[in-house]
Amino acid sequence: MAKCTFLGLGVMGYPMAGHLVKAGHEVTVWNRTASKSLKWEAEYEGKQHSDIVRAVQGADFVMICVGEDKDVYDVVEPAVVTLESNAIIIDHTTASAQCARKCHEMAKAKSIGFIDAPISGGEAGAKNGQLTIMCGGDEIDFGKAAPIMGAYAKATKHMGPSGAGQLTKMVNQICIAGILQGLAEGVHFAQKAGLDVDEVVEAIGKGAAQSWQMDNRASTMAKGEYDFGFAVDWMRKDLGIALETAKGVGAKLVLAKMVDGYYADIQKLGGNRWDTSSLLKRLII
């Protein structure tokens, strides 16, 4: 059993922290909105603090799942001056590789480990403890943290030094953006051609066109249902990080840039909180 603190109880963090309790760890949580941490405390019979410093005191592992770079800095800075040496910070936020490297340096200066560990699998993956985690940082720290992350992950892989986890998550989001746009156009075409989308998916879903997005989102897209977790606002944040990073490494992200623009169209339609499969919406208006 480890002493864990979880900072950030959003759609993903709330159930992830719960899985740590179920795995037998001692868990303390903090959330910017205190009502959420109080609700979690009552549901999981864990502990919560309204102050980050008090929440992380004595922790072996501190998990973070917040919004973006500035939010990561806001919680890492007080954590590294409070934690004891040899504690490990695991950041599940999707942030920039630059943020990960800076936080790694801050932590190492205090003899604390830092792993950038962005997650994939969506709300369902978090609730079911079936997330995929791509990690950057020192291999020895990853080796200590991997069994703890196993409470909410089905796959955890060390990708290289600090920042490598975030870079891998960028690849993940680039691929998802292209797949979703292709699926949106396929569903749109099927509807216009008078085909039953569910029957089309049954016919082609075991062949080369198959994807997780097809299996889980084609039917709901066809029904105009866009309330399945990962929001357009967050996808645009992630693609923005990838597009900015691409400039620095000399990568050409033609399709990702195009799809990011399509998501901007969705935002103009008021779909900021629609899930990422809502790309279909802009094709049918």
Q: Supply the residues annotated as catalytic.
A: 169
Could you tell me which of 139, 143, 134, 140 has the C-alpha nearest to residue 116? 134
- CA angle 20-113-61, nearest 5°? 20
Q: For CA atoms 156, 9, 231, 247, give the dihedral sign.
A: negative
Residue whose structure tokens are 């740590």: 20
Measured between alpha carbons, how far is 255 from 146 in angstroms, rounded to an integer? 34
Q: How far does CA 273 lie from the centroid of its chain?
A: 16
Using CA atoms in the order 134, 231, 66, 169, what is the torsion angle rounded to 10 degrees? 20
CA distance 91 to 137: 11
Measured N-to-C along each axis, helices 197-204 and 164-192 cross at an angle, to the nearest 10 degrees, of 120
C-alpha span between 6 and 36 (Å, rounded) = 13
CB 205 within 8 A of CB 186: no
Q: Which residues pair with 136 in a beta bridge?
A: 116, 160
